[in-house]
Amino acid sequence: MKRNLLWLVFALSTAVQGASLDGVTYPPELKPEPQEAQAAHLAAELLARYHYKAMRLDNALSEKIFDQYLKSLDSEKIFFVQADIDQLSNNRTKLGDAILKEDLTAPFAIFNLFEQRAAERFAFARTLLKKGFDFQQNESYQFAREKEAWPKTDAEARELWRKRVKSDWLRLKLAGKDDKSIVEILDKRYDNFLKRIARVKSADAFQTYMNAYTMAIDPHTNYMAPRAAEEFDISMRLSLVGIGAVLSELDEYTTIRELVPGGPASLSGQLKPGDRILGVAQGEGGVMIDVMGWRLDDTVALIRGPADSVVVLDVLPADASPDGKHKLVSLVRKRISLEQQAAKASVHSIVDGKVIGRVGVITLASFYEDFAARQRGVQDYRSATRDVARLLDGLKREKVDSVLIDLRNNGGGSLAEAVELTGLFIDQGPVVQERNASGQISVESDTQAGVAWDGPLGVLINRGSASAAEIFAAAIQDYGRGLIIGEPSFGKGTVQSVIDLDRVAKNSKPQFGELKLTVAQFFRINGGTTQLRGVTPDILFPSVSDTESFGESSFDNALPWTQIKAANYSPAGDLKGLLPVLLALHDARVKKDKDFQYLQEDIAESRLRREKNLISLNEAERRKERAAEETRLTFRETRTDVGKGAGNDVVGKGGTALRDDGLQPGERKLAIELAAEKARKDARDILLDEAVNILGDEVAVMKTGGGLTARIQRGPVLPLE
């Protein structure tokens, strides 16, 4: 998927002051660390030797790196001007030499200029707030500029930013904010951006440059700095050592957003959401380090530590004023299991006066596996397949008629887990084929006899279902083992291997990071590949995603679609005869489902807005548009059976949708954001409900030859154990 690396501006946060020129406070100049140049050279050697599409680091690749680097830094072309690009183009063929000669001066010079331009743009944005705007003029703002040229002059860039700020102002004005509040909100927003720019570190610049290099070769080869590598490892093993608190940055405070049940923070009874962490000390009597204004990841690194060690927090309670009384909270770090990211199950009853069908739904967000624990021979290591197997046992006890595996937005994970998870539903046989750089083809198979579930099965996918999720869905489809429902998947048909650069270099401590490089392409057992085309569902749902900007086909250097000889396998079933009946029942049902129709309307409206790519800056015109939207939403909410539709932005009590308030994440009160998250979670999942109905139809057709026309009732979420 496309990565807009403006996270460097919008998401990073350790304050330092730079020089102030012409009223602009510039961030300090970043310089590469010696170990970064060494890591880059080592990564280049590995890429040239082991990558599936090995490319020499020559002038041609250097030019691709240069283009990818600029795209990473300024994808919307709002920071640089054409003169900058002309100046920087002197380095177009030198970025490869920067790696081979272990001299990162050139890429860091590009990054430093980017930071200077970003500081100038946001500083200029703040000056506009003093003047205000005339919203009676007929002008518009182009919100997506990726395909546009860079501004020719600084004056042209300032005009772009004038419209950008005017759009921000008008959005808040339409939400009911007065001018004074708008100035305060936007001034603080732009000032926060400037502070975050100043907190960017050498490691951030290096990681951005290295990913420009790796992604110039292929979209899924990435470099991870040591801290990013640790976060990746945590996401795969679903555990970490800490205090059991979800933290966020709010008004320069590290704020507790959520407490993990059973974690040290929750069990202490001394902390609650909204509490702000001002300082962190290691052990009782340790030196308290002030973390006010720190980057969130730096604060988190201080709070984490060895299991059973003590961390002391200086806390400003949620209900205290900024100069209120602090309290010290001492906690013993423990291993925290990230259950929210683990597989979950629920039972949905299909009712028509009485329960006439039960469908078990297993939601799997990733194909996680604790690699290290498995390698050490730990018997009860954490894995997606083990968790799903336990959930299937629970669903069988619940006597469900069918099982739906929800893989929407599952970006993949462990290839071994994809194979083993498939094995829960087929009785031995090939699952996926791999072709390496030498053209050798190997087959990954399920070797375990028996199945965990032999009943009706469905798999729900969308554009965000990728890699391992596509392997699983494709295998289930090729075996005829279950129905694939949803929208076409991402289209990632490549296999990556993670190399610990520190282990290769035999470093005693982490300093080089990790390299995730493409080593093979995978193919379905029918011989085709999911590359570019993804998995096409048996029953298609409306496409919510923008396929032009999201998915394998959005990359200009993606591998082409191809095919090889089919593997030797025997289908487990054939659902083709059922499809015409199920499609007819599906079509008839969704035509009567107002929520489904509203969702289709919203998708069409969103597509039109993307294609138009212009937003009016005339207040009267925008109020007219807003009134029409209010009328449309109000009409929906007055229906007795709506108010919990996924088509709404956020659904609150009584079915009232929270309209656009013009605010960005982190600008609302925490309680409001948490309530909105809960509302989204509780909202009716229209597509999931329809997938459940389709499986209900399948069961009914197989049993009686008839279909179900009924409603869905959600059951409780089942625990893993």
DSSP-assigned letters across all residues of 188-229: HHHHHHHHHHHT--HHHHHHHHHHHHHHHH-TT-EEE-HHHH
Nearest to 541 by CA among 684, 683, 688: 688
Quick count: other Cβ atoms within 10 Å of Cβ 375? 9
In Å, what is the CA distance from 617 to each residue of 57, 132, 170, 624? 47, 13, 7, 12
DSSP for 49-118, written as a single string = HH-TT----SHHHHHHHHHHHHHHH-TTS-S--HHHHHHHGGGTTTHHHHHHTT--HHHHHHHHHHHHHH
Q: Could you give the CA distance from residue 291 to residue 298 in angstroms, rounded to a whole number?
A: 9
- Is the separation of the CB atoms in 531 and 562 below 8 Å? yes
Q: Which value, to the nearest 10 degrees, does the dihedral of the CA atoms of residues 285, 291, 296, 297 take?
A: -50
Residue 52, judged by CB atoms within 10 A of its CB (0-12, 13-18, 19+), counts as: buried
User: What residues are annotated to the active site?
Assistant: 467, 478, 492
- Strand 457-461 relative to strand 402-406: parallel, antiparallel, unpaired? parallel
Q: How far apart are CA 207 and CA 228, in angstroms?
A: 9
- The residue type of 420 is E
Alpha carbons 359 and 456: distance in angstroms, whole number:
10
At residue 369, φ and ψ (nearest 5 deg) are -165, 135
Q: Is the distance from CB of 472 to CB of 418 less than 8 angstroms?
A: yes
- Determine the Cα–Cα distance for residues 559 and 551; give it in Å rounded to an integer: 13
> Residue 95, Cβ neighbours under 10 Å: how many?
26
Instruction: Provide the Cα torsion 578, 580, 581, 585; round to 10°.
Output: 130
Phi, psi dihedrals of residue 36, rounded to the nearest 5°:
-70, -45
- In whole angstroms, give the CA distance from residue 407 to residue 624: 40
Residue 345, beta-bridge partner list: 362, 718
Q: Closest Cα to residue 524, out of 514, 511, 533, 515? A: 533
Rounded CA separation 320/547 (Å): 47
